[in-house]
Amino acid sequence: MIYLFHRDPFARVFEAEITAQGEESPGLWRLELSDSAFYPEGGGQPCDLGTLNGLPVAEVKQPSENGPLLHFVKAGGPLQSPVRGEIDWARRRDHMQQHTGQHLLSHAFFALFGAYSLGLHIGAEESYVDLRPDGGPLPENALFLAETLASELISADLPVRQWFPSPEEIKTLPLRKAPDAHMNLRVVQIGPEAVACCGTHLPSTGQARLILALRSQASHGNLRVFFLAGERAIERARLGARAAAAAAAGLSCPLSGLAAAVQRLREEQRQLARALNRERTQGALLALGQKETFPLAGERVLLAELEGLEPRALQEAAATLPGGASIACLFSRLEGGGVSAALARAESGGQSMAALFSALAAVLGGKGGGRADFAQGRLERFDEAEATRLIRDFLNTKD
């Protein structure tokens, strides 16, 4: 059956008879109607929402192509015929903008690079279309070029025709892909190009308003292009413009120099972080030089907690065996929680530092490992008195 959403994609309200209904789950009724303007989920386009007799429609599905359309309504009991349906038009119009926008982008990618569109997904935040680049890898500025061509189609405000042509008419249409044998083939024609498509579309390309090709990524051997159209694209462009203007003002640079200014700032920050780490390491080594070792099981043990030392700097500090220690156990609290640990020993025999780390981690929690003379890792918690006791117990236990 050809429903109203296909015959007239601009119908917002309708009346229909209930042909079947049943309680799907407590408070949720499943209805079949004699006709409907509710678009079901399909072809990457989410279903319409709205109301039936003023009650909220939670979902609309058409499980099989020629099967009935199922409306799921939040209701306390069965609904009375005839029902009055009303589509949430803001949601539908947004879907039409994303969907028609995808047609324009798909046309651009095919016309410019011979890339076929495989599928569409309209998400709550962003939409994407998967492309098969048959013409080889796309150039670096492909998104910009496709977005530009799609924008020209919007400016041209071309009419969009969506209808069910007769088998004779289908043969005469300039379809991008030859259609499969199909009882009710629905065709969408924009400008000189026609494609088979079941979704809902705007009446003209100008209503797509704006298209932003956001970014692309490889996906199962194809190319996934994220995009926004319509009000969503305008909102994103405004947000981006405001954010960029604020950032440029903050960095006292023109908008055109923003990317370079951010790059410079990041490089400066990296250099400062490196210098700070060097300072901290030197300070820590100085402090360690004054710390006393304690004798234990024939070893000279140094145990210290250092402040703000990165794991790498901590490991380097431990490896120097400061203060003439034969075993150095250094700890430093990590920003994200937990403690970084580095355990080093003089090369001459004795118990394994990897085994010592395991003994600590068994009680304090954490992960790490190493060799006989060096081990490192992250402990979930740290307490100097407890760690001292654990190290004492471990070293006093003969292999």
Q: How far apart are CA 175 and CA 178, in angstroms?
A: 6
Closest by Cα among 86, 103, 87, 85 to 207: 103
Q: Which is nearer to Zn ion, 116 or 253 (CB)?
A: 116
Nearest-approach distance from CB 215 to Zn ion, in angstroms: 23
Residue 159 is classified by DSSP as B
* Burial label, 234 (beta-carbon count in 10 A; 0-12, 13-18, 19+): middle
CB closest to Zn ion, residue no = 197
Scanning residues 109 to 128, which ones bind Zn ion (CB under 5 A)? none
Nearest-approach distance from CB 24 to Zn ion, in angstroms: 29
Q: Which is nearer to Zn ion, 203 or 283 (CB)?
A: 203
Q: How far apart are CA 84 and CA 70, in angstroms?
A: 16
Q: How far apart are CA 358 and CA 349, in angstroms?
A: 18
Nearest-approach distance from CB 254 to Zn ion, in angstroms: 41
Told to check if 197 binds Zn ion by CB under 5 A, we report: yes
Q: Which is nearer to Zn ion, 85 or 199 (CB)?
A: 199
Nearest-approach distance from CB 261 to Zn ion, in angstroms: 42
Q: Which is nearer to Zn ion, 178 or 218 (CB)?
A: 178
Q: Which is nearer to Zn ion, 195 or 317 (CB)?
A: 195
Contact 9, 36 (CB under 8 A): no
Q: Which is nearer to Zn ion, 199 or 322 (CB)?
A: 199
- Select from 170-178, 193-201, 252-260, 283-291 the region that touches Zn ion (CB under 5 A): 193-201
For residue 17, give Cα distances in angstroms to 83, 237, 365.
6, 44, 65
Nearest-approach distance from CB 106 to Zn ion, in angstroms: 9
Task: Tell me the HSE value of 353 on the side-chain side, using a 13 A CA sphere.
Answer: 29
Nearest-approach distance from CB 105 to Zn ion, in angstroms: 12
* Burial label, 295 (beta-carbon count in 10 A; 0-12, 13-18, 19+): exposed
Q: Are strands 28-33 and 50-52 parallel, antiparallel or unpaired?
A: unpaired
Structure tokens at 230: 């319509």
Binding mask 152-191 for Zn ion (x = CB under 5 A): ----------------------------------------
Told to check if 37 binds Zn ion by CB under 5 A, we report: no
Q: Which is nearer to Zn ion, 229 or 317 (CB)?
A: 229
Nearest-approach distance from CB 176 to Zn ion, in angstroms: 12
Nearest-approach distance from CB 235 to Zn ion, in angstroms: 23
Q: Which residue in 9, 50, 68, 199 binds Zn ion (CB under 5 A)?
A: 199
Task: Tell me the HSE value of 371 on the side-chain side, using a 13 A CA sphere.
Answer: 7
Residue 208 is classified by DSSP as G
Q: How far apart are CA 382 and CA 380, in angstroms?
A: 7
- Select from 199-207, 308-316, 319-327, 358-366 the region that touches Zn ion (CB under 5 A): 199-207
Q: Which is nearer to Zn ion, 73 or 208 (CB)?
A: 208
Length of the chain counted residue by residue = 399
Three-state secondary structure call for residue 394:
helix
How many residues make contact with Zn ion (CB under 5 A)? 2
Told to check if 309 binds Zn ion by CB under 5 A, we report: no
Residue 358: left (phi > 0), alpha (psi -120 to 50), or beta?
alpha
Contacts (Cβ under 8 Å, ≥6 apart) of 308: 280, 332
Q: Which is nearer to Zn ion, 232 or 345 (CB)?
A: 232
Name the residues that contact Zn ion, by CB under 5 A.
197, 199
